Amino acid sequence: MKTKYVCQLCGYEYNPRLGDIDNDIEAGTDFEDISSDWTCPLCGAGKDDFECVEVDDDDDKDYE
């Protein structure tokens, strides 16, 4: 199992492999390592509004 982080307000998924280039988050940055003032690029929610979701290693699409 691995984890990813999903915005509870809009459903945006943070992907550590891609980072968030538009907001100066380099590709490969773990969610935990993002600065605490980062916000969801889609809706502006703070990190506190993101939920850690466990996913199967080879199943990136259907994590529910």
Q: Does position 9 bind Zn ion by CB under 5 A? A: yes
How many whole angstroms separate alpha carbon 31 and alpha carbon 14? 7
Q: CA 18 from chain center: how many Å?
A: 10
- Whole-number minimum distance, CB 17 to Zn ion, in Å? 19
Using the rule CB under 5 A, which residue among 10, 21, 27, 53 binds Zn ion?
10
Q: Are 53 and 61 in contact (CB under 8 A)?
A: no
Q: Does position 42 bind Zn ion by CB under 5 A? A: yes
**Residues binding Zn ion (CB under 5 A):** 7, 9-10, 12, 40, 42-43, 45
